[in-house]
Amino acid sequence: GIQVEQSPPDLILQEGANSTLRCNFSDSVNNLQWFHQNPWGQLINLFYIPSGTKQNGRLSATTVATERYSLLYISSSQTTDSGVYFCAVGGKAAGNKLTFGGGTRVLVKP
């Protein structure tokens, strides 16, 4: 099956800092999603981005499908950005199910 690796595993930021999270995957995908899991366990959809670039407020994401990686950018981080960020991919051979990476645990300090 598809392998998904996220880096870094942990990130500590000062409020207001910018950061980049990376997701590498091992095969062609037809689905790539970024999620934020908040401290209460909710998985919140950030981006559906199998290719290209999208922006939503202080967050943006870029997926380069031919090179099998995606990046999530957080700008001007806030304490509410704390939590775990997951990248999840779905491959053409895998139907529509998602394979998750190990996540990046982000802590934003005031």
Partner 1 sequence: AAGVIQSPRHLIKEKRETATLKCYPIPRHDTVYWYQQGPGQDPQFLISFYEKMQSDKGSIPDRFSAQQFSDYHSELNMSSLELGDSALYFCASSLTAEAFFGQGTRLTVV
**Residue ranges in contact with partner 1 by CB under 8 A:** 30-31, 33, 35, 41-43, 45, 48, 50, 86, 88, 90, 94-103
> How many whole angstroms separate alpha carbon 71 and alpha carbon 91?
18
Contact predicate 42/34, CB 8 Å: no
Burial of 32 (0-12, 13-18, 19+ CB in 10 A): buried
Contact predicate 84/37, CB 8 Å: yes
The nearest distance, CB 91 to partner 1, in angstroms, is 11
* β-strand pairing of 104-109 with 10-14: parallel
Q: Which is nearer to partner 1, 26 or 30 (CB)?
A: 30
The nearest distance, CB 17 to partner 1, in angstroms, is 25
The nearest distance, CB 66 to partner 1, in angstroms, is 18
The nearest distance, CB 65 to partner 1, in angstroms, is 13
Q: Which is nearer to partner 1, 50 or 75 (CB)?
A: 50
